[in-house]
C-alpha cells in the first residue's frame, strides 16, 4: 500500500472515530456506566469505536487489494472475537473476582464468571487467529499466548485515564512501520489517537471491549517477529501477569519516574489536583 492510501485510510478512520465517539457516549451513558478510580460514574465500553472503525477500514483494504487476504481476514477475526468477549465482560461482568486465579477459584466453587469465560474463549480466538500464519503447533501456541496475554495486559492497564491507549500507541508504532500487519496497526493507531482525548479527560472508559482488542492487535503484530523476539515478549507478559496476581501495576508505574511521566501525559484529572 502506497503512502497516499495509507494517509487516506488514517485520515478517514481518525475522522470517523471523532464523529462516532460523541454518538456512542449518548447511546451508552443511559445504559452502561461504571465508577472510575475517583468514584465518578462515567460511560464504559467506548472502546467499541475501535471495532466500528478498524473492521470497515480493513474490509476496504481487502476489497481494494491493499492488504493480503490472509492478514486482513485474520485481523478481522481477531478484532471481532476479542471485542465480542470484551463486550460480554463489560455488560454482564462482575468485579468481585480478581486476576486469573480469582476467576478460576470462583469457577471451582461452581460459579462461572465472565472473566473465566473471556480467558477460555480468548485463547480459542487467539488459536484460531494464529493458526493460519504459524509454523507448527509450538508456534501456534506461542503466538496465541502472546495475543491472549497481550489482550489481558491492556485490560489490566485500563484503570486510569488514557493508560491503556498510551500503552498501545507506544507498543504499536514499530509494527505500524513494518511487518505483515502494518496496515492494520496504522488504522488502529488512528482510531486510538482520535478516541484518547475523551479517555484522558475522564469522560469515558474504553472498557474490555476496547482494551481486549488493542492488546490482541499487539499480539497480532508480534506474530511477524522472529521466534526469539516472540519468546522474549511471552516471558515479559508472563512475568507481568504473575506479578499482577499479588501486586499492583499502578504502584509500579507511580514509583518509576519514566512510567509516571508517561502515565501523567495529557491527564486532566492530575491537573485538577
pTM of the model: 0.91
Q: What is the per-residue pLDDT for 269?
A: 78
Partners of 41 in beta bridges: 35
At which residue does the C-alpha cell 461504571 appear? 34
Q: What is the per-residue pLDDT for 201?
A: 93
Contact 205, 164 (CB under 8 A): no
How distant is the alpha carbon of residue 233 from its chain centre?
A: 16
Taking each helix axis as running N to C, give the angle between helix 163-177 and helix 257-264, from 0 to 180 degrees, rounded to the nearest 10.
100
Q: What is the per-residue pLDDT for 270?
A: 73
The residue ranges of every structural domain in the chain are 3-271
Q: Could you list the pLDDT tens digit for every one of the 273 residues in the chain?
A: 789 999 999 999 999 999 999 999 999 998 888 888 888 899 999 999 999 999 999 999 999 999 999 999 999 999 999 999 999 888 886 655 555 555 556 656 656 677 777 788 889 999 999 999 888 999 999 999 999 999 999 999 999 999 999 999 999 999 998 889 999 999 999 999 999 999 999 999 999 999 999 999 999 999 988 989 999 999 999 999 999 988 899 999 999 999 999 999 998 877 544
Cβ neighbours for 196, distance < 8 A, ≥ 6 positions apart: 162, 165, 166, 169, 266
Amino acid at each position: 500500500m502506497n503512502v497516499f492510501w495509507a494517509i487516506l485510510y488514517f485520515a478517514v478512520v481518525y475522522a470517523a472515530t471523532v464523529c462516532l465517539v460523541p454518538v456512542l457516549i449518548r447511546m451508552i451513558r443511559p445504559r452502561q456506566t461504571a465508577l472510575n478510580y475517583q468514584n465518578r460514574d462515567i460511560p464504559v465500553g467506548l472502546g467499541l469505536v475501535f471495532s466500528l472503525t478498524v473492521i470497515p477500514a480493513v474490509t476496504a483494504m481487502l476489497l481494494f487489494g491493499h492488504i493480503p487476504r490472509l492478514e486482513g481476514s485474520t485481523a478481522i477475526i481477531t478484532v471481532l472475537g476479542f471485542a465480542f468477549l470484551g463486550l460480554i465482560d463489560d455488560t454482564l461482568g462482575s468485579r468481585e473476582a480478581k486476576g486469573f486465579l480469582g476467576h478460576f477459584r470462583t469457577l471451582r466453587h461452581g460459579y462461572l464468571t465472565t472473566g473465566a469465560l473471556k480467558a477460555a474463549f480468548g485463547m480459542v480466538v487467539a488459536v484460531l487467529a494464529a493458526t493460519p500464519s504459524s509454523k507448527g503447533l509450538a508456534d501456534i501456541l506461542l503466538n496465541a499466548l502472546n495475543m491472549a496475554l497481550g489482550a489481558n495486559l491492556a485490560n489490566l492497564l485500563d484503570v486510569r485515564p488514557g493508560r491503556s491507549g498510551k500503552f498501545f500507541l507506544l507498543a504499536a508504532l514499530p509494527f505500524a512501520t513494518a511487518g505483515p500487519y502494518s496496515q492494520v496497526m496504522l488504522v488502529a493507531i488512528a482510531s486510538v489517537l482520535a478516541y484518547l482525548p475523551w479517555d484522558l479527560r475522564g469522560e469515558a472508559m474504553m472498557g474490555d471491549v476496547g482494551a481486549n482488542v488493542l492488546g490482541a492487535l499487539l499480539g497480532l503484530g508480534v506474530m511477524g517477529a522472529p521466534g526469539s523476539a516472540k519468546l522474549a515478549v511471552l516471558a515479559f507478559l508472563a512475568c507481568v501477569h504473575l506479578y499482577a496476581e499479588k501486586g499492583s501495576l499502578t504502584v509500579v508505574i507511580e514509583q518509576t519516574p519514566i512510567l509516571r511521566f508517561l502515565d501523567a501525559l495529557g491527564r486532566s484529572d492530575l491537573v485538577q489536583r
